[in-house]
Chains A and B, each alone.
Chain A
Amino acid sequence: MDTVHFVIDKPQRWDSSFDPDMSEAAVTRLLGIRPFSEMDVTKFSKRTPLRGILKNDARIRRFKNGEIIVRAGDYGSSAFLVLSGHARVVLNPGLPASMLGRRKSQRKGLFEIVAQLWTNPRDPEVRTQAELEQDTGVKSRSGSQGAGVFLQDVPRILDEHKTATMSAGDFFGEIAALSRTSRTATIFAVGDATELLEIRWQGLRDLLRFDDHLRHHIDRIYRERTLATHLREIPIFKRLNDEQLKRVIAQTQFGTYGDYDWSGDYKRLAREGKHSPEKETIIAQEGDYPNGVVLIRSGFARLSQRFGHGHRTLNYLGAGCEFGLREIAHNWRQRTDAVPFQQTLRVIGYTHVIVVPTPVMEEVVLPTVPPEDLPALFTPGELAETEVSETTRKLDAGAKIGPELMEFLTENRYFNGTSSMVIDLERCTRCDDCVRACATTNEGNPRFLRHGQISGRIMVANSCMHCADPVCLIGCPTGAIHRGQIGGEVLVNQATCIGCSICSNNCPYEAIRMVEIREEDGAFMVDKDMKPIVKATKCDKCSDQIGGPACERSCPHGALKRMDMNNLDAFAKWLHR
């Protein structure tokens, strides 16, 4: 019997170019400029030649005087090389939020709150002129030339703020792009002839892989600027003197796992029901020799242990967590009785880690730690799996909230939420007071759906979770979606949102909606081509209200709670209340 086959092309690395208009002539020009002119093209693989990287993973951008290139606090997935002209880095203290195209976080006064009784509009998604007017000092641009935000009074900014100049050949933005951390400074163009090469994360990763010079350059910057500060924040490294810290920094290794833009893949796999923990990349495997302490710098990792023929999730580790320290400390003290890794560490989505090798730990770090501060030794019973230590018990979040719920949270990546809307269905009467409260507080527009994934009696509703790793922030062209200054909530500035949908498409939890906005008289707002003006909307955790999230306050049965899913102890306490 004949069978019908659907023939499709296997997806290729460069199916989607960063800039489809990037010309061969431009690439040839770039190959003549440092650092590319100094790169050894023979070291690049045939599948990803240098020319191909520049053609497909880079684009040339021209900025005008005062145009912001990167904003402090933004999440970006690309690095920049100055080709010509100048850019200025604003040193600490940075520019105020209003100058960066963001709205200053502020709570409503009591009168403004009471006034909502009579000021709420009758039509949905109404925006007032005041809401759409950007604060002074900045204006946004959208259209065919790309979107951007301009500083209005550059001479005054140069007078009032300390800045440093970047000129042709300078690289910036690579640390934030590679480690998926927020940009630490704002950089803007000076003069109308600033030309930059923007290299997306994938291209930068390949350049680093094949070019030793660039890798050493970025490696050095990373060690100098970031690593020392990061290590100093970790208790076990606190007692190191400068000399010892230098030794540790010199031998520390970095690793980036998974996909920077994991949300797209995740959404596809989830839709197809193909997601499986066994397919996740392993950072460190149970039973292997512990060759270093793994410190998670950004993203998340799943901590699991063999259970029957599968793996049981014990916990998920986020930025600031470590893995393997207990094993290494045990082996250092009990040299005749070495133990391998007791759990497996897997990448969930994207994980950036720092690995401090075992010899450095043993020679430099562990001798500085008082014995009482070292992790407990493994007991024979623990190694024989006949008993569970207090350390493991603390780590085993699944034991506190139930293994099924643990798997549910991990599978659906709800650990990302710092303010997930969790509903106890055994107490929820489905009265929708939460939805009504949300709508009334947000001028008649509910910002969530009381609907979502369910495990047992727990539902995680479709509402913005204000993620620890906010994928939605990646790629916003105007910085309209940003973290608030008061509680770190993820907010959308309606004035600078250009309705491009990047944030909405990136959000793995489908918590951002694009809406057509209206004027105060109820008419749809349109642009000059008579197309409706679209804005991104989402839960802002009632950041402008005195009382906090209306949904939580309005639940008469205490069934709805905004939970930080990284605090599983609090979650367990709430579950068993």
Chain B
Amino acid sequence: MKGFVRRRLLWVGLLVAATISVVSVFPVWAGATTRTAYLTGWLLFGLMVLLTGYNWFKKIPYLPLGRSELWLQFHIYVGLFTGVLFLLHVGGRWPTGWFELVLTILYLIVMASGVLGIFISRGWPKRLTARGGEVPFERIPVIRRELRERAEALALSTVPEAKSATVAEFYLRRVHDFFGGPRNFLSHLFEIRLPFNALQSDFTDLKRFLNEREKQVADQLMALVRQKDGLDYQHALQLTLRLWLFIHIPITYSLMLWAIAHIVLVYGFSAGAR
């Protein structure tokens, strides 16, 4: 059995065991005390603090606190386990008050963004690698500008050479904007090739009106379009691989603040923990 499969089975086994334990113990708690929500609530809050700690762990890599890979596994499976605790805590009911509603929505956003994060972190690197044209994210604007300059020079070169502005006009009308910045963001995320195919088809149609020299230029221009399309693909996926954290982390901190307020309110409007 391969290492990754073995590790996944181990963590899933632990998650299932923890879920069965908590779910089977919960009715016993519920029978013994009327304040089970305090127990699940504090457990949930404690685990959320630990999960938030992963973000701090990443900021201090020189502390000998173990490997980030192990922490991430812990983060993922404990995060999933909080879902079980959350359901037990709210008793499977949709909240009715606005405060609890906001708290629930914040929790669901954090959970959903986390699950989305796992999904894309596991699947999209393969897509990036299979597509090729590996490029550091920070270099993308520089390369894009270089491609645009080359494309513009190429399109303009046909005017004096072929004494015709057909390619230059086509460039202005159809291609100029494509090189202007990142394009077809959603299409790249969902592997939809329609915009690129449409542009390619326009290039094919254009060739009917070109002489040999212009056709050569059109082919070179299309090669640059392909490169730019690959660059956009890298940009769209790499950006999303970074952006999801910009939802997950700030909402996590909002959730923590809301949860602290929730605890204060619970204790403020009750006779205290029993």
Contact = CB atoms under 8 A, between A and B. Distances in A.
Q: Do A and B come from one complex?
A: yes
B61 A428 contact: no
B134 to A, nearest CB: 6
B2 interface: yes
A426 B62 contact: no
A375 interface: no
B58 A433 contact: yes
Contacts of B68: 433, 553-556
B241 A577 contact: no
10 closest residue pairs by CB, A with B: A437-B61, A547-B64, A577-B3, A556-B72, A425-B129, A558-B69, A441-B62, A546-B64, A550-B61, A556-B68
Interface residues of A, number: 39
A117 interface: yes
Given A556-B71, A557-B72, A577-B2, A117 B60 contact: yes
Interface string B62-81: 11111111011000000000
26 contacts: A425-B125, A426-B125, A427-B125, A428-B125, A429-B125, A429-B241, A430-B136, A430-B241, A432-B137, A433-B58, A436-B61, A440-B62, A441-B62, A450-B136, A454-B134, A547-B63, A550-B62, A552-B67, A553-B61, A554-B61, A555-B69, A556-B58, A556-B71, A557-B125, A559-B125, A576-B2
Contacts of B121: 429, 557
Interface in A542-564: 542, 545-547, 550, 552-559
Interface of B is mostly: helix
A95 interface: no
A451 interface: yes
Nearest to A458: B129
B72 A113 contact: no
A457 B128 CA distance: 10
Contacts of B3: 577
Interface string A326-352: 000000000000000000000000000
Given A457-B129, A550-B62, 16 more contacts: A113-B64, A429-B124, A429-B241, A430-B238, A431-B241, A454-B134, A459-B134, A547-B62, A547-B63, A547-B64, A552-B67, A553-B61, A553-B68, A556-B72, A557-B72, A576-B2
Interface in B114-172: 120-121, 124-126, 128-129, 134, 136-137
Interface string B1-35: 01110000000000000000000000000000000
B136 A440 contact: no
Interface string A473-512: 0000000000000000000000000000000000000000
Contacts of A559: 125
Contacts of A433: 58, 68
B93 interface: no
B64 to A, nearest CB: 4
B242 interface: yes
Contact of B137 (A117, A428, A430, A454): A430
B63 A114 contact: yes
B50 to A, nearest CB: 16
Interface in A398-450: 425-433, 436-437, 440-441, 449-450
A524 to B, nearest CB: 25
Interface in A441-473: 441, 449-451, 454, 457, 459
Contacts of A437: 58, 61
Contacts of B69: 555-558
A116 interface: yes
Interface of A: 110, 113-114, 116-117, 425-433, 436-437, 440-441, 449-451, 454, 457, 459, 542, 545-547, 550, 552-559, 576-577
A431 B4 CA distance: 20
Count chain A CB atoms within 10 A of each CB in B61, B72, B238 and give the residue with the most: B61
A439 B63 CA distance: 14
Given A431-B241, A555-B69, A426 B129 contact: yes
Interface in B35-86: 58-69, 71-72
A433 B124 CA distance: 17
Interface residues of B, number: 30
A5 to B, nearest CB: 28
A451 B65 CA distance: 27
A553 B67 contact: yes
Contacts of B124: 429
A550 B121 CA distance: 21
A20 B2 CA distance: 61
Nearest to A114: B63
Nearest to B242: A431
Contact of B128 (A116, A425, A542): A425
Contact of B126 (A426, A449, A558): A426
Contacts of A554: 58, 61, 68
Contacts of A430: 125, 128, 136-137, 238, 241-242
Nearest to B71: A556
Contact of B136 (A116, A451, A550, A553): A451
A430 B233 CA distance: 14
Nearest to B127: A426
A454 B125 CA distance: 14
A557 B241 CA distance: 13
A574 to B, nearest CB: 9
Nearest to B136: A451
Nearest to B54: A556
Interface string B227-246: 00000000000100110000
Nearest to A441: B62
B241 A440 contact: no
B129 A441 contact: no
A183 B8 CA distance: 50
Contacts of B71: 556
B266 to A, nearest CB: 34
Contacts of A436: 58, 61
